[in-house]
């Protein structure tokens, strides 16, 4: 996937452009992205040049008061996994925020060879979110550009799949429901950092990740996880929150890989996928009792 940042240079290849922020890249977002790919393939039949599929998004948080599901880097990884050709990303700054709906669309027309727009039915754009799908259709059709509007994707009792609902699931520890709506396991990815070494001293080493301040906080507790390092996946347990046994007030993400000691992986990148929530954080009477508890799980 080609990643193009803050470019005012015209992208000349014909493209089907999916519009949105795509936080979480959930099932609703995936439907939009898959339609962009399918539309590009459809329009490319018999065309002189291959039609590309792409997304246009912002790299920073458009709603700072709302925590994100994933970092921008993680969104890029997910975009690429869906086989998109291109991602065009911009930083949402004063210039973008001041553009009215028509100015935003005129910018796109001036900088991209757009053959189709793809978006969700509730897509908004321009200053104060003044532009909507009907505005986009009128503007595009006058210029001979197709618009594909994707209906809301629903789940239980007809509720709309949304990033807001998924954030609430993550915050409440309903990780299996969040995974179902995401269409994949919720994950944290980053470089291993040095912790307090207390687990290693007990013979139970942990891989520690920093918790990003702008990412939604997963409910404290112990989770069954899968940890990927160097393209290999391992069963693991992950604790999110304060370590009560050691009277620590720090919020940490500590992962113990079951039945394997991967050694010290400081500064190495790992991916921790959350499968299910096992229990709340509890305080053991001693570090030894905590170690014995984890070792019984190791042997399962």
- Asked whether residue 111 carries a pLDDT value surpassing 50, the answer given is yes
pLDDT at residue 156, rounded to an integer = 84
Nearest one of 181, 183, 185, 279 to 238, comparing CA atoms: 279
Mean pLDDT of 151-161: 91
Contact 55, 16 (CB under 8 A): no
Contact 197, 285 (CB under 8 A): no
The structural domains of the chain, with segments of one domain joined by +, span 2-157, 186-298
pLDDT at residue 299, rounded to an integer = 43
pLDDT at residue 226, rounded to an integer = 97
- Asked whether residue 293 carries a pLDDT value surpassing 60, the answer given is yes
- Asked whether residue 33 carries a pLDDT value surpassing 70, the answer given is yes
Between these two residues, 193 and 274, which has the higher pLDDT value? 274
Tokens of 145: 């550009």
Percentages (nearest 5) of helix, strand, coil residues in the chain: 30, 30, 40
- Asked whether residue 275 carries a pLDDT value surpassing 80, the answer given is yes
- Asked whether residue 244 carries a pLDDT value surpassing 60, the answer given is no
Mean pLDDT of 163-174: 97
Q: Which helix (H) or strand (E) holds 102?
A: helix 101-111
Least confident residue range of 52-66, 179-193, 267-281, 284-298: 284-298
How many other C-beta atoms are found inside a 10 Å radius of the C-beta of residue 91?
Answer: 12
Between these two residues, 10 and 89, which has the higher pLDDT value? 89
Q: Could you report the per-residue pLDDT of 193-232, keeping only the tens digit for each?
A: 986 655 555 557 889 999 888 999 999 999 999 999 999 9
What φ, ψ does residue 168 adopt, rounded to 5°?
-65, -40
Mean pLDDT of 247-255: 74
Give percent of the chain above pLDDT 70: 86
Mean pLDDT of 267-288: 83
- Asked whether residue 8 carries a pLDDT value surpassing 70, the answer given is no
Nearest one of 208, 212, 181 to 268, comparing CA atoms: 208
Mean pLDDT of 93-97: 90
Domain 186-298, CATH class in plain words: mainly beta
Nearest one of 237, 184, 242 to 211, comparing CA atoms: 242
Pairing of strands 187-191, 207-209: unpaired
Q: Could you report the per-residue pLDDT of 253-273, keeping only the tens digit for each?
A: 999 998 887 777 888 999 999
How sure is the predictor about 124, in pLDDT bands with cuts at 50, 70 and 90?
A: very high
Domain 2-157, CATH class in plain words: alpha beta
Mean pLDDT of 12-35: 96
Nearest one of 118, 25, 28 to 73, comparing CA atoms: 25
């Amino acid at each position: 996937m080609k990643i193009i940042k803050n470019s005012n240079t015209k992208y000349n290849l014909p493209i089907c452009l999916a519009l949105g922020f795509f936080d979480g890249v959930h099932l609703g977002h995936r439907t939009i992205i898959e339609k962009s790919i399918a539309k590009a393939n459809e329009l490319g039949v018999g065309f002189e040049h291959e039609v590309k599929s792409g997304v246009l998004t912002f790299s920073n948080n458009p709603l700072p008061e709302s925590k994100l599901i994933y970092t921008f880097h993680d969104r890029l990884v997910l975009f690429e996994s869906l086989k998109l050709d291109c991602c065009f990303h911009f930083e949402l700054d004063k210039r973008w925020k001041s553009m009215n709906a028509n100015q935003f669309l005129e910018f796109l027309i001036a900088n991209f060879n757009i053959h189709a727009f793809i978006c969700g039915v509730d897509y908004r754009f321009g200053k104060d979110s003044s532009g909507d799908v009907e505005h986009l259709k009128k503007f595009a059709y006058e210029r001979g550009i197709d618009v594909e509007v994707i209906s809301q994707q629903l789940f239980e009792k007809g509720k709309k799949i949304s990033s807001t609902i998924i954030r609430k699931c993550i915050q409440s520890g309903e990780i299996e429901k969040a995974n179902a709506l995401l269409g994949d396991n919720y994950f944290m990815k980053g470089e291993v950092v040095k912790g307090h070494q207390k687990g290693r001293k007990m013979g139970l080493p942990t891989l520690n990740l920093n918790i990003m301040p702008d990412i939604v906080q997963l409910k404290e507790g112990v989770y069954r996880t899968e940890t990927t390092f160097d393209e290999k996946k391992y069963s693991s347990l992950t604790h999110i929150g304060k370590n009560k046994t050691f009277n620590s007030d720090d919020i940490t993400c500590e992962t113990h890989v079951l039945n394997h000691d991967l050694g010290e992986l400081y500064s190495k990148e790992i991916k921790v996928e959350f499968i299910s929530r096992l229990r709340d954080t509890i305080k053991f009477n001693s570090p030894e009792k905590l170690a014995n508890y984890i070792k019984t799980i190791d042997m399962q």
